[in-house]
Each structure stands twice: as structure tokens, then as C-alpha cells.
Amino acid sequence: MAELEHSHHPDAIRERLDEGRKTSYLRDAILGGIDGCVTTFAVVASVAGAGLPGVIALSLGLASLIADGFSMGVSNYQGVKSDRDALERARATENRHIRSVPDGEREEVRQIFARKGFSGDVLEEIVETISADETLWVDTMLREEHGLELEGAQPVRAAFWTFGAFVLVGAVPLVPFALPSLGLDIAFAISSTLTAATFFGIGFIKGMIVGERRLQSGLETLLMGGGAAVIAYLVGGVFEPMMTEMGLAITR
């Protein structure tokens, strides 16, 4: 038999359930990293497509990196906080309903578990057990009736992981342009290679963590990020005259 992900010994099960569900910030880090890399490489590709000096790519890339990273972190904070606020509002509502119309709330529990296949004395015992503990009662209604997750992410941590990954990964495409000795073409070629490797690496690591096929996950991320980069490069070529005038104005 193949090795399983965890033990099913009663003691191991009890210990695992006592620990509770661990909140993962993998999604926040992956989204932040991919978006950061795409954002800065889009700037690099646009500048290279317009044939502007590498210093402009570095300057615009750094400005975009900090501003967009902060914006994305704040947006994620607001999104996660909204989910937590919705959970607390639903909790307050269920507490009020349990105290105002307990029989109606017991009937809701009864029908919920009847849909799961329970009936007769077993069903009534479930209803009585759950309704005997108000905290358990409310938590059950939040999960079963509202479909809410009780162990959600913390807004500040989610924002930190998003911003940190955005800045860290997003700096990769800018590294070659920090070396004045490299020409624009060479710097862009190195940046493209580093960016492609970063996209693939993010997908590969994600595959390792979540148990997906690592090579497939890496290639999917590479294709998505590479597609955005190609679009940015083409846009830079289309707006080359305007970008060139802006570059000349900056270098004067």
C-alpha cells in the first residue's frame, strides 16, 4: 500500500483534530509573487519594446514595485477583513436567533442533518447534543447554513505575505538593469530568462506544497506569466513613439 499523507491511528487522529485546521497563506504569497513579477516585467518589457535606456526600466520598475505592492497588500487586507467582518455579523445574527426563536433554530439543525441521511432517534440525539452547547450550535449553523469557514486568515498576515512576496519576487526582473555595464538588449535577455525561471519556480513550489504535478504546475504558471509579459512587450512597441518622447524628457 502506498504511504498515506497522515496516520489514521486513533491517537494520531485525536491529536490532529485537537490542533485544528492550520491557516495557509500560500495563496496570498503565490498571487503576490506572480503579480509582482508580471507587474515589474511588464514595465521592463514595455521599456525594452520602446527601445528606451535601461535606467528608465529600473526607475519605473522600482516605483511600480513599491506602489503596486503596497496597493495589492492593502487590497488583500481589506478583502480578508471583509470576510472576517461578515463572519462576525453572521455569528451575531445566529446568537440572536438562537435566543429569540430556539425552536426554529433547532428545526434548522434537524433539517440540515436530515439531508445528510440521519433520521429517527439518532437525528433527535444530534439535535439535542448540538443545541445543548450554544457555541457549538452557532458554529454548526455558520458552517452548515451559511457555508462559512471559521478558521480564516488574519488580515494583517495576509497583507504582509502578499506585499512581501510581491516585492521580493517582483524585484527579480529588475536585477539586470541595476548593472550599468550591461546594455539594454543583454539586460532584457537576462531579465527575461530570470523571469521565466521565476514563474516556473513559483509554479513548481506550489505543486510541491499542494500535491499537484510539479512540472505541470510550473509550466502552467510560466505560460500565464509569459503571456502577460509578451502582451506588455507588444504594447511597448505600439506606444514606442510616446515612450521615446517621455524617455528623452526624463534624460534631459
Tens place of pLDDT for every residue, the chain, 252 residues? 445 556 565 666 566 655 656 777 888 888 888 888 888 888 888 777 777 777 888 888 888 889 989 998 999 999 999 989 999 999 999 999 999 999 999 999 999 999 999 999 999 999 999 999 999 999 999 998 888 888 778 899 999 999 999 999 999 999 998 887 888 788 888 988 998 898 888 888 878 777 778 888 888 888 887 777 677 667 666 655 555 555 545 445
pLDDT at position 46? 76
pLDDT at position 100? 93
pLDDT at position 250? 47
Please give the DSSP secondary-structure letter assigned to residue 72.
Answer: H
pLDDT at position 89? 93
Rounded to two decimals, what is the model's pTM? Answer: 0.74
**Cα–Cα distance for residue pair 173/4, rounded to 1 Å:** 40
pLDDT at position 1? 44
pLDDT at position 21? 65
Please give the DSSP secondary-structure letter assigned to residue 212.
Answer: S
pLDDT at position 9? 59
Q: Where are the domains of the chain?
A: 26-251
Distance between start and end Cα atoms, the chain: 71
pLDDT at position 2? 46
- Give the contacts of 56 (CB within 8 A, at least 6 positions apart): 47, 247, 250, 251
Please give the DSSP secondary-structure letter assigned to residue 174.
Answer: G
User: For residues 42 and 232, is the Cβ–Cβ distance under 8 A?
Assistant: yes
- Give the contacts of 198 (CB within 8 A, at least 6 positions apart): 33, 37, 169, 172, 173
